[in-house]
Chains A and B, each alone.
Chain A
Amino acid sequence: MNCAENMFSMRLSALSENESFARSAVAAFCLPLDPTLEEINDIKTAVSEAVTNCVVHAYNGAKDKYIDMTVHIDARLNKVSISVKDEGCGIPDVKKALEPFFTTKADEERSGMGFTIMRTFTDCLQVKSEEGKGTEVSMTKFIRGASDACARRNAGIDRACEER
């Protein structure tokens, strides 16, 4: 049986120890789309960045907090959609947060490149955030081909982020 669409969701404790599991689980789930090794690594890296943000920034290391992840694959469109959601502190200025090298934790040797990596390693990045409520990071990656169409979508989404 070859399903065109498939999805899974999971709730993880917001612990850095879960990052490795999260990125490996998402990567494994995408395998039916036959991604290249580079594409698999891109997905793993982007997921790792999103989960790190939840642990370090959204919850600031607090205990008993959760991350909700949903992954959807569409074999007809060769598309992977990943949502990483927290109920943490939220981001006051999303546009600022998306700037390369911007970090609120420079004293902890943070590079400020998490969102830049997510944006570079996926085709579309969208960040919805509300202070005191939480953040949802949505990433889409097209596995082989479809890059032109995606670049157009990505441009639109970038504008939408900036307007927020």
Chain B
Amino acid sequence: MQSRIYNKGIYTVIELRGELDESCAAGVRRQLDEELAGKQVANNVLFDMRGVPFMDSTGIGMLLGRYKLLKQAGKNMFITNVGPQLDRVLNTVGIYTIMRKVSV
């Protein structure tokens, strides 16, 4: 799985690419935390899931973990470009109650 982080408008955008499951979750987590620590992060962090065709509950755990860290740092977390499989998983878990789905 690949990731790219950049600032755009009011957001720091985290773009993920690839399937998100147990085989890559730990690596993604480490990579994002390292990159975010060395960056000027906006108050609003947006996960762009356009390049993620599949995610399971391991991915949910990764997103929730980032949510907790960002919240501690006083940041808001949003999610966008969610495909049908991700949407069903995220809805099942009720994740949109804590990170809003936005269209940008």
Chain A residues at the B interface, C-beta cutoff of 8 Å: 16-17, 19-20, 23, 37-38, 41-42, 44-45, 48-49, 52, 55-56, 108-114, 116-117, 120-121
Contacts and interface: CB of A to CB of B under 8 A. Distances in A.
Could you say which of A37, A108, A109 has the most chain B C-beta atoms within 10 Å of its C-beta? A109
Contacts of B84: 37-38, 41
Contacts of B85: 41, 44-45
Contact residues of B: prevailing secondary structure: helix
28 contacts: A16-B22, A19-B22, A20-B19, A23-B54, A37-B84, A38-B84, A38-B88, A42-B88, A45-B56, A45-B85, A48-B21, A48-B56, A52-B22, A52-B56, A109-B62, A110-B57, A110-B58, A110-B61, A111-B58, A111-B93, A112-B57, A113-B60, A113-B92, A116-B92, A117-B89, A117-B92, A117-B93, A120-B92
Binding site of A, secondary structure by majority: helix, strand, loop or mixed? helix
Given A19-B22, A41-B85, A109 B93 contact: no
Could you say which interface size class chain B belongs to?
Answer: 20 to 34
Contacts of B92: 113, 116-117, 120-121
Contact of B21 (A16, A41, A42, A121): A16
A49 B55 CA distance: 10
B75 interface: no
A78 to B, nearest CB: 20
A19 B21 contact: yes
Contacts of A41: 54, 84-85, 88
**Best-buried of A45, A49, A55, A111 by chain B (most CB within 10 Å):** A111
Contacts of A56: 22
A110 B84 CA distance: 22
